[in-house]
Amino acid sequence: DWAENWKKSFKPLRLGKHMVIKPGWAECEILEGDKVIEIDPGMAFGTGTHETTRLVIKLLEKYVKNGVRVADVGCGSGILAICASKLGAGECKAYDIDPVAVKVANENIKDSGLTNVTCEVSDLLRQVDKSEPYDVICANIVADIIIRMMPDVDAFMNESSVILASGIIIERSQDVISAFEAHGF
């Protein structure tokens, strides 16, 4: 039963300075100042074990300040939006094109008891309201999708916004850099 057997390898994980990612069924040591994220990824990507997820979580610790608005594009399990909320973000919006991922993310958000995080279906940022810019935008997806997002992303940013793009294999890094540069980043 693969749907249950994979859980044996998903263990609590300490990331960054104070982030602890753990499955809801596991116990772990919690230290003073830790921010615990309980995740059940179900059929969605995002347990914190992948290097690109770890990298973005470390960067969230650096860039998320109290009250900032955060968008997680291609959110999978919702792990990055949940982490941003636990780090003090005022409002977090998560988006994914996959309705199953959105369902899983909403369950994780609910189980985390967070009221400032929402998740909706959107093809990148195409169905997202542009009226209020985000301070931090995360996109931990793949190079082609990040490149496809480039023409639209600046409409969701202000002068001091930061975009955290990850999930890019080294062979595609220059393509992504070129796309960012072509759009004024």
Look at residue 31 in the predicted model and tell me its pLDDT: 82
| Per-residue model confidence as pLDDT tens for the chain (185 residues) | 655 655 566 677 787 778 888 776 677 787 888 888 777 655 545 555 668 888 999 999 999 999 999 999 999 889 999 999 999 999 999 999 999 999 999 998 998 889 999 999 999 998 898 888 999 999 999 999 999 999 999 999 999 999 999 999 999 999 999 999 999 99
Does pTM top 0.75 for this prediction? yes
Contacts of 71 (CB under 8 A, 6+ apart): 92, 93, 94, 95, 125, 128, 134, 136, 137, 138, 156
Whether the Cβ atoms of residue 83 and residue 57 lie closer than 8 Å to each other: yes
C-alpha 103/C-alpha 110 separation (Å) is 11
Contacts of 45 (CB under 8 A, 6+ apart): 76, 77, 101
C-alpha 137/C-alpha 110 separation (Å) is 22
Whether the Cβ atoms of residue 88 and residue 66 lie closer than 8 Å to each other: yes
13-41 tens-digit pLDDT: 787 778 888 776 677 787 888 888 777 65
